[in-house]
Structure 1
């Protein structure tokens, strides 16, 4: 007994199906053009690709009726012979619509070729089953394409993040910018670099395990690029163009939690450090450098907020040997106080080194305590730091040390004058 006899389809019916295969494929293509306006607008090569898949499907259907054990291979074959870019040009929804139309044409045209009512019933059931197999085969093709595309995007994303951390874009390399553009990143968008530990579920979480972080960023209306580098998670978060000026001033570097919002919850345990706002990817290396320096120094401040701005960790970063932190302390504290003239620096040093005792500072400077109060108030106005606050006092003390070291280095680098030069 043959397989066709087991199915109840006679060889004569199979022969009629084979002869009708060409007309059936043409009918499917005509129905697709009639019911889906976008199909008629496809380029000729893509319509030819769909026709090729349809013809193969019809031929495989006839073969499937006689070879039930070959179902999976035959249905998958219809998509393997399709042009490589067909799955990229047609969305999954469009492909499902085309499969549905082809199945309806099969239901309409194939059963009438049966020799009797029993064969008619068998052909109807076979069309439905084969249509289901084709749909699953299409879904498998698109799932594989999406997985490959996701893996490729993940590699591109990792390269962009690594390039920013290493400063490739800052050095004039176009690779970082072009890869970011492929991922949909706006090259003109301002960016913050946020670093911390990856989620604790896995030591090296795949990109799909960070969907919560991406979802939170999307709700904020911002783009995000994520890279896991060993035991640290590096996130590039774009800043909306409309808020690059005023909004950044409103948020401020001292309150990064208002910038990154719920994204912090997607990091692992430990400190989360936010770098300063950079104008774009070409300048983002400085933000990454400060953020990573802050992450290394963060354990020195156990009570630091989460997240914490990299600029709020300047004392700890300076103690770790960060030359940028040394320079920034001098620029933001020592230089404004020195430019203001008077005795602000001398008063601040005496106040801090005297343990914060106002009266003792006044006696050491031979001035009235109100004069000391006035000078300290001026220090607060110029630096934004309150000398009486313990944390601010640590920043000011470290800035004084950095300023003295900078002055000593400057004196050592100054040209030496001989006695003859002095006489001239």
Structure 2
């Protein structure tokens, strides 16, 4: 039996045998928001709480899917369920909580997560590896040898074989590093001796030339000998100006103003000569020496003073008062050693004892051949009072009494001056400890 009923799409046959709740929500009266036939206001929601729908037919249970979703059975078609139009969809119940040991039948069991190593927080300021300045990023090339059979092998092989520097060359390079130590301000060295003819002026030129040739700063030697000093005669004469002319110059504001009064050796050592007239030189006193030092210290880093043999004249007072260190020159002979010891005693007795501990003794040989004095015993004697002792062997070029050129020195003499300069340069850091004790005549 069929009956025509009104549907949203029109009228159509209705099978009486079909239950009304299977037709759908559109079959239950007017929907909210529609207008009835009488043209009234939209129909409100219909209270269907009193209508009890008949029970739904029993639906056979759905067989469970195979684990991990790979089963041969297919899911059954969904069964239509009657839902009143006036009511909202009932809340879906929460899925049952499955135990951790028994996975849900509808969802595949997930494998347990991998255990990861916990990340420890890094303390602030702690680094995990060496810094770039601690890593040898560049492999240092070996220096080629400069002399001997090592140099010959390196040259003949075209640089393919590099035996490197010898131990003597490495030691000499270490000496050069000591000589080139930086100096703060100006460093003043007084070269003195109570006995003449022991090589005091020669030592001054040799030491000053070594500093000037191996360092990049300015080095000058001042002749403070009142007895017609010969310091300016050991370098090429470029000017006849003296220390008096420098003091009388009204305009000394730049280095070039001072350079006009000095002579320069091939080693770049500059020399400021003393008065050539012995009568005028006697008037060179302490005040004039201090005035010369106040000018030179503005333009030179190392200042050497060639002192006379007299320890009590006026200029010596200013020399010792302004000195940072002294070089005591003696000959490897008994009389020279006694004069050097008397000089140390005089310094200790006249308020200059602080210079004894910073003094360096130079044993200069004035003639060839070995000395009859045991130099080793003499060295140990002076080391009990002084900082160091150096020996400068006889050299033909130094004995000429003419201009001194380091390139013409023998290997032993030149090496001796480098060692002497390295010893004195080790004290450059103590210039801030300069003392000016009162002079006790």
TM range, smaller chain: under 0.3
Highest RCO, 1 vs 2 (Cα 8 Å, sep ≥ 6): 2
TM-score, structure 1 normalization: 0.20
The structure carrying a bigger helix percent of its residues is 1
Larger Rg: 2
